[in-house]
Amino acid sequence: MAGFPAALLPITPALLRQLEQWLAEDLGRGDLTAAALIGRQGRAHWQCKANGVFCGGVLVEPLFRLLDPALQVRLLVADGEPVCAGQRLLELEGAASALVAGERTALNLAMRLSGVATATAALVAQLAGTGVRLADTRKTTPGLRLLEKYAVRCGGGVNHRLGLDDAAMLKENHLAWSGGVGPAIAAVRAAAPWPARLIVEAETATEAEAAVRAGADALLLDEFPPEQLAVLVPRLRQLAGGAALVLEASGVPPDGLAAVAACGVDLISTSAPVSRSAWLDLSMRFEPGWV
C-alpha cells in the first residue's frame, strides 16, 4: 500500500496552547515520579503494534519540547505513510522526566489520529480509479476537529467544511422553516458577508431539482440508492446547463461506496472514519542504560 501525499498541519500558537492544555490535564500539579529522574537523560522510540496508516508524528516534537526545549525527535515515518506491526516510527532523546511526562498525551493523540487515518484509507481504497473523492463531515470530537480533519487528509480523504462559516449548507430544517428551497437560497445569498459556496441537502429528487433551478452551487444527496442516483445525476447535470455543480452523496453504507461512485457523483461524504474508528495501537519503548 502506497502512502498518501503529506498533508499540511501548521503548528500555530493556538495549536501549541491546545498541546499545553492537554499536557496539563495529565500532569495536574506535577508528575510525582519526576524526582527519581532529576538530571537523567533518556532515549526512547515508538513502535507500531498493528498495521495501519500513521498520523500524529508532526505533533511529537512540539509537544515534548514544551517539557524539554532541548529534546530531539527523529521521525522515521511521515504522517500518511502505511505502517506494519513491529515497525519503529520515531526516536526521541532528552530529559528522562520529559519523556515520561509526555508519553501518554503524545501517544493518545497519535493513536487516535492514526486510527482515523487508517479507517479513511480503507474507504478511499474502495474508490480507487473512480475519480470520486471521500470527504469528511462536521461530526468531529469537540476540540479535535482540526486534528481529526488532518488525519482524514493523511488517510487520503478530503475535508468538507471546517465550520459553519466555510460554506452555507441548507438542510431539512432550514428549508422547512424558511418556506422552501427558493426562499432559503435567496435569503442566504442576500445576507452572506463573504463569498461562500451554497450547498443544499436534498432527500428527494424533487428537492434536488428545485435546488439546481434556484442556483445552488452543490447538492448533498442524502441516502439515495444507487439505482436512483444513476438516473438523477445525469438529469441534475443537464438542469445545471453546463454550470459547475458539485454532487455529493451521503448516507452510503461502507460496503456500498463503489456502487454509488459509479453513478457519477463527485464526492461521497461520511463521518465513519472519525466517529467509528478504533485507535491504532502504538507504544513507546524506553532504551535502558542511557543516563
Catalytic residues: 104, 139, 171, 201, 222
Q: Give me the phi and psi of 161, to 5 degrees please.
A: -65, 135
Which grid coordinates belong to 47? Answer: 513502535
- Residues 141, 270: Cα–Cα separation, whole Å: 15
Cα first-last separation, the chain: 39
- Residues 253, 197: Cα–Cα separation, whole Å: 27
Phi-psi region of 54 (alpha: psi -120 to 50; beta: other; left: phi over 0): beta
Nearest to 215 by CA among 179, 187, 251: 187
Whole-Å CA distances, 170 to 163, 198, 215: 14, 8, 13
Contacts of 97 (CB under 8 A, 6+ apart): 31, 34, 37, 38, 40, 67, 68
